[in-house]
Structure formats: C-alpha cells, structure tokens
Chains A and B, each alone.
Chain A
C-alpha cells in the first residue's frame, strides 16, 4: 500500500508563479523526502526533512512538515519551465526497516 498521497494530482501554472504541492501520510515516520522525476528518467532527490524538523529550505524549494497532521508541503518559488516534472513524496517509516514508501506523484506543468 502507498503511504504518501500527494495532492493535487496535476498542477499547471505560469512561469514565475509559485507551485505548492501537498503530501499526506498515515503512519509514524523518521523522515519525509521529496523527489522529482523528469519524463522517462530516474528520480532525483530534492530535499529531506526529519520528523523533528518543521521547515527546510533549499534554493527555491521550501518544505514544511506537520507531524500532528501527518502532512507535508513542497513549495517551489518563482517556477521555471524546467521545473516541469512529476514530484513524489516518500516517507521512511519509524521502524527498523529503512524502506521508502512513495506516493503516486504530482504532475507539474510550468507554462513559459
């Protein structure tokens, strides 16, 4: 079963706008990670936020984590056409197993 569920499923914005993507999960986690996948290619790790962190920044990316609501958001500011891709959240469970569980992904289209 998939732990992370992203929403929306698809997002289309104009270049320069901000894109906000959300992820909800069900069980306790050690960390939550966001990945990007360009069409037909492997996944690229974007950012990891630990369960004891609330917010993290990396360049134009901002990730928040609310463990009480079991949710995370990924904000991409000043979007570019090159940000067009699928974005996945993945959670690492709090058990001994370090398996990552991925959501189905969000398709982001940034119009030039």
Chain B
C-alpha cells in the first residue's frame, strides 16, 4: 500500500509567519512521530501520537510548536512565528503501534526554509 506522505515537500517562508506541515501516515498505523533534522545532523524527536493523543510532547522545542492528529490519521505540525533556526527538514513516521520493536516508516520530509 501507500507509504507515509508529507506535504508540502518544500516550504519557504518569511520570519514571523506561521506554517503548517501535514503528514498522512500509513493506513492502520496507530502511532505517529514527528522529527526535525537540521542540516548534517541526526533526527531530533519532537512529538509522538498514539491514536489522536500525544503522550509524549517532550521534544517540542518551544511553545511556538504544536501538533494535532485527527481521525487517528492525518497529523499537522504547526510552527507559529517562525524563526530562522526553525529551518530544517521535518520528518514524519508511523508505525503499527507504540509497542517496542515496531518499525517506523518515514515520509520523505518537508524542507522548511525560513528567510
């Protein structure tokens, strides 16, 4: 079936504007993850959803970042009042469940550039 999809694939915005990034997980996957990857770096965990609930928001870097998930499907990551340091690739992943040893399937990411 279809993999994880993300949109937009690229986003250029001006400092101070809000942006919304979308993730469509694999159908039937109850767990959904957001990560941020700065240039040349590994992935930073942002937030994790189990169903529509977010039991772990520990990675959100500031209150400008928020995320929601509806219908145990689509998730939106919103960054308000964007700053230049928010420039990165934002990756979404989904897995069958939150249990241990579940493979995470990644989307292609959204490249965000804040000017």
Contact = CB atoms under 8 A, between A and B. Distances in A.
Contacts of A105: 41-42
Interface of B: 4, 31, 33, 35, 40-45, 48, 55-56, 58-59, 91, 93, 98-109, 111
B42 A103 contact: yes
A102 B56 contact: no
Contacts of A33: 103
A88 B101 contact: no
A68 interface: no
Contact of A43 (B41, B55, B59, B91): B91
A75 interface: no
Interface stretch (A11-19, A54-62, A92-100): A92-100
Contact of B103 (A30, A45, A102, A104): A45
Contacts of B101: 30-31, 48, 50, 92
Contact of A41 (B41, B43, B108): B108
Contacts of B93: 43
Given A30-B101, A42-B4, A42-B91, A99 B107 contact: no
21 contacts: A4-B42, A30-B100, A35-B106, A40-B111, A41-B109, A42-B4, A42-B109, A45-B103, A45-B104, A48-B101, A48-B103, A50-B101, A88-B42, A88-B43, A97-B48, A97-B56, A99-B59, A100-B104, A101-B45, A102-B43, A104-B41
A31 B45 CA distance: 17
B102 A98 contact: yes
Contacts of A2: 42
A78 interface: no
A45 B105 contact: yes
A31 B100 contact: yes
A82 interface: no
Contacts of A44: 106
A31 B102 CA distance: 10
Contact of B106 (A4, A43, A50, A92): A43
